[in-house]
Amino acid sequence: MNVKTAFEIITERFEKAGVDSPAFEVSILMEDLLFLPKQPEFSVPEKELSAEEEKILFSAAEKRASGYPLQYIIGSWEFFGRKFFVGEGVLIPRPETELICEYVLKYYSRSMPPRIIDLCSGSGCIAITLAKELSGASVTAVELYDGAFEYLSRNNTLHQNCVKALKRDALESFGEFDCIVSNPPYITENEMKELQTEVTFEPKTALFGGSDGLDFYRAIAKNWKNNLSSGGIIVFEIGDTQGQEVKNILTENGYENAAVIKDYEGRDRVVTAIKY
């Protein structure tokens, strides 16, 4: 069987399974699992696959068609132009989370390099991106759970150990920092019952934020305020219905200039505030 035929068969399978971007995902599987060039259906359509390659590809395709995340199958995903290892036990990096990095990079573009802490760091994608993009910044990444911390450590090694990775509870404050960033668990109890199939494979500890989804925002805002320097900022990713509530939490805890930032689809996605 050649690449073109395999591509067509699996694309049709993905369409029937309801995969959102079937052709794109088939290309990714072929590129990553079979080490083929980009868009192999166009670049090497007539290349014959060996029996072993067919087995690897179609086995992975069936796993994906069942709802298992593509990112876990290939073992990595891109964030802010860099590769990050992912797998069961760690949240998959998402493009909307890049807004946190964009905001912090812009905020400190003309400032002294800040001391940054990333709470509930997971794969470390936020912390490592900030360390790589913000010259001179000191970045600490905090993650409690074994599975996620393993990926944080692997990604830190991959990116030249650019952050200080700590395995500890993100709700227990320590040290002094100029910037707190976090993409904490924020899915509500009701939303947990209606997750997309792919999301159900991700760790509940990275998703569930309490009955109203706001437990971590309340705890971080309260527990870490005294560890944030005067003039320091706090930057949260939020669910798209939580903007005003998280803004209120920060204001009630004495932070100022709380603001909601929308993502590129016009949905509330990031909340920021300053401690004076």
The enclosing domain of 45 has a CATH number of 1.10.8
Q: Are residues 13 and 104 in the same domain?
A: no
78-89 per-position pLDDT tens digit:
999 999 999 999
Q: Which residues contact 244 (CB under 8 A, 6 or more apart)?
A: 260
> Strand order in 268-274's β-sheet?
164-166, 138-142, 115-119, 177-182, 228-237, 268-274, 256-262
Q: How many domains does the chain fold into?
A: 2
Residue identified by tokens 């944030």 is 228
Q: Are residues 21 and 118 in the same domain?
A: no
Q: How many CA atoms lie within 13 A of 188 on its CB side?
A: 7
The enclosing domain of 269 has a CATH number of 3.40.50.150
By the 8 A CB rule, do 143 and 122 touch? yes
Domain that holds residue 134: 89-274
Is residue 77, in this structure, part of any structural domain at all?
no
Q: Are residues 146 and 235 in the same domain?
A: yes
Q: Are residues 61 and 95 in the same domain?
A: no
47-64 per-position pLDDT tens digit:
999 999 999 999 999 999
Is residue 74, in this structure, part of any structural domain at all?
no
Q: What is the pLDDT of residue 60?
A: 98
Is residue 83, in this structure, part of any structural domain at all?
no
64-120 per-position pLDDT tens digit:
999 999 999 999 999 999 999 999 999 999 999 999 999 999 999 999 999 999 999
238-247 per-position pLDDT tens digit:
999 999 999 9
List the beta strands (DSSP E) in 183-252.
Answer: 228-237
